[in-house]
Amino acid sequence: MIEPLHPDQLRVSDPERAAVQERLRRAVGAGQLDLDEFDTRVRSVWASRTRGELARVTRDLPEPPPDPPPPPPPGRRFSDDDAGTTMRVLAIVWASIATVNLVVWGLVSVTADGDVYPWPIWLSVPGAVLLVLYAAGVGRPRR
């Protein structure tokens, strides 16, 4: 009867060796190995025949921290979702300011003896700008 092999006795493939080499490269980047140790261990990796030999190369190394995420590409363009969110926020801010101004103007008009200048009319300018942008398609989903 043939005895089953222990997992450490199984042969390794080149992709497994390449994965361990990448693990060693990350260890160098994290400052866990110097270049001489890296060189020695990479030679051992490619000379390894079994998984046990391969595991011994990295046994004393803690897991290195993950690579940082790549920086966003320069000049990132806003997506339609970004434009839609921006338009909604601007419309809410404008509506809030217009409401507060209309309420204050109404209270001043009711309590004043004479006519009161209708200053909330000036809020129609930014409102018109938002309306023109929306009519031009800014912030609306594409069909």
Q: Would you kindly state where each structural domain of the chain is located, as residue ranges?
A: 7-58, 80-135
| CB 12, CB 48: distance < 8 Å | yes
Q: Note the pLDDT of residue 137.
A: 80
Tell me, rounded to whole angstroms, the distance of Cα 80 from its chain centroid.
Answer: 17
Q: Note the pLDDT of residue 99.
A: 95
Per run of 10 residues, the mean pLDDT along the chain (length 143 residues) is: 79 93 90 93 94 90 80 69 83 95 93 90 92 83 65
Q: Note the pLDDT of residue 91.
A: 92
Sign of CA dihedral 87, 90, 92, 95: negative
Q: Is the pTM of this model over 0.85?
A: no
Distance CA 117, CA 109 (A): 9
Burial zone of 139 (CB within 10 Å; 0-12 exposed, 13-18 middle, 19+ buried): buried
Q: Note the pLDDT of residue 118.
A: 92
Q: Note the pLDDT of residue 36.
A: 94
Q: Angle between the 14-29 and 51-58 helix axes, to the nearest 10 degrees?
A: 0
